[in-house]
A and B are shown apart, each in its own frame.
Chain A
Amino acid sequence: MAQEPQAIELRGLARHFGERTALRDVTLSVPAGATLAVLGRNGAGKSTLLRILATLLRPHAGEVKLLGEPLPRRAFAVRAQLGYLAHEPLLYRDLSGRQNLRYHAQLHRASEERVEQLLAAVGMAGRADDPVRTLSRGMVQRLAVCRAVLHEPRVLLLDEPRANLDPAAGELIEPLIGRPAGLTRVLTSHDPRSALVEADLVLGLREGRPAFVAQPNQLDEQRLQALYG
């Protein structure tokens, strides 16, 4: 049986900060177009994993392959295909939404039309010229989503994408970063139930180590609770 190219391959991934181990023995594969949900308590290593995939942190042990390219060696080649929605919006508070997005567009070689198109798609066209510090958290999050998908990446890394969003705003971003986008996605969430609905594969992290790698239908309440207990 021919092996389909996996979008994400991790084998024995480890990362520490000083003497503290943040991640250890993470092994899994994510096929193209699938969604991986990463669950766990605060400090379990979810954000660290995402940052490694975003090429912002280098792995200390094990192998990481994104779209077939090994990291960190080929990080430069693969960066253009990644979209990272971080905990922070990564926007300058004193510049406007439009100025921020144009800056990112210049860095990523995206067009200004794309900026305008996205601003309209998330309903921010009207407030695009106000400094980011004057916007509500939900608006900032919408701008952050624009930033993440500006360059039409193939892989999305989403750190709590629905934080600060009301249902209406949530619907606006759905076509950009949700299932309908058809992209390979890795997302973390504090709310396991909503994450499970979206996921094809689930990684449970406990103190940096994988508690389980399973499909949603294989998980029951007990295993989930063990993560957070």
Chain B
Amino acid sequence: MTTYGRGLRGLTLATAATLALALALVFFYAPLDADQGFIQKIFYIHVPLAIVSLCGFVFGGVLAIGHLRTGDRKWDMRSYVAIHMSLIFGIAALLAGSIWAKASWGHWWVWDDPTLVSFLIVLLLFATYQPLRFSIEDSERQARYASVFAIVAGAFVPLNFIAVRLAQGFVHPRVLTLTGGNLPGSMRLTFLVSFAGIVLLFTTLWKYELTVKSTRIQIRRLRRELLGDDAVRPLGRSAAPS
């Protein structure tokens, strides 16, 4: 029986503290961008969200490998939570990026930036993860097929970025860059703190959801064992592992 709840309180406090620090830095410490003004500060939210989201997807694929190799369903649970958390973070990143694009360039969407386009494609792919799970009724098969998908999709992420970058990179310069790659010290510090905060946020939420889900499953199992099969109502169709 795995307990995910260990250390959760400490993690939550660390996350809250780091995010608070990040916000303070963003508003009071980081320099105001000469060209784009205040709105450029969205970068401190947008980029960490995007990076964590993409890493989360790949992480979900790695966890799925664990599931297929061991057959232990708890890996599938971890993979599921990682992926759907990454999807949420990814959508948030996309929205933030869209706001930034609108404020800076007047368009809600730009095709010229290969990173943004690749990101959209990845999100389109992973958005199918839950519908796929939901459409397979047998829970064991659902877990297995979801893991196969997660691995393929996880491998797809880097490949996709390469392909799109090659397709567009030589034609248009990247639109949403900053100062050519090298961040000045104050920006770098703010970015790193912000990034750390988002990573902690992801980890904390991931653990929270795992704790809730696994506890629920254990309760169901205990009720079934102690009170008999009839005491537990059948779950019906669901996309989540059980």
Question: Hey, which bits of chain A sit against chain B, CB under 8 A?
Answer: 17-19, 21
B138 touches A19 (CB 8 A): no
Chain A residue numbers with a CB within 8 Å of B235 are 18-19
Interface size class of B (residues with CB under 8 A): 10 to 19
Question: Would you list the 5 A-B pairs with minimal beta carbon distance, nearest first?
Answer: A18-B139, A18-B138, A17-B138, A19-B234, A19-B235
Asked if B225 lies at the interface with its beta carbon under 8 angstroms from chain A, I say: no
Asked if B33 lies at the interface with its beta carbon under 8 angstroms from chain A, I say: no
Chain A residue numbers with a CB within 8 Å of B234 are 19
In whole angstroms, what is the CA distance A1 to B15 when docked? 70
In whole angstroms, what is the CA distance A166 to B76 when docked? 50
Which residue of chain B has the shortest Cβ distance to A21 in the bound complex?
B229
Chain B residue numbers with a CB within 8 Å of A17 are 138, 140
Chain A residue numbers with a CB within 8 Å of B137 are 18
In whole angstroms, what is the CA distance A21 to B140 when docked? 13
In whole angstroms, what is the CA distance A21 to B242 when docked? 15
Interface flags, B159-196, vs A, CB<8A=1, else 0: 00000000000000000000000000000000000000
Which residue of chain A has the shortest Cβ distance to B235 in the bound complex?
A19
Chain B residue numbers with a CB within 8 Å of A19 are 139, 224, 232, 234-235, 242
In whole angstroms, what is the CA distance A21 to B232 when docked? 14
Sample of 12 more A-B contacts, CB < 8 Å, known A17-B138, A18-B138, A19-B224: A17-B140, A18-B137, A18-B139, A18-B140, A18-B235, A18-B242, A19-B139, A19-B232, A19-B234, A19-B235, A19-B242, A21-B229
In whole angstroms, what is the CA distance A210 to B242 when docked? 28
In whole angstroms, what is the CA distance A18 to B217 when docked? 13
In the complex, what's the smallest C-beta–C-beta distance from A75 to chain B, in angstroms?
15
In the complex, what's the smallest C-beta–C-beta distance from B183 to chain A, in angstroms?
51
Beta-carbon contacts under 8 Å, B209-242 to A: 224, 229, 232, 234-235, 242
In the complex, what's the smallest C-beta–C-beta distance from B140 to chain A, in angstroms?
7
Chain A residue numbers with a CB within 8 Å of B139 are 18-19
In the complex, what's the smallest C-beta–C-beta distance from B143 to chain A, in angstroms?
11
In whole angstroms, what is the CA distance A144 to B234 when docked? 37
Chain B residue numbers with a CB within 8 Å of A21 are 229
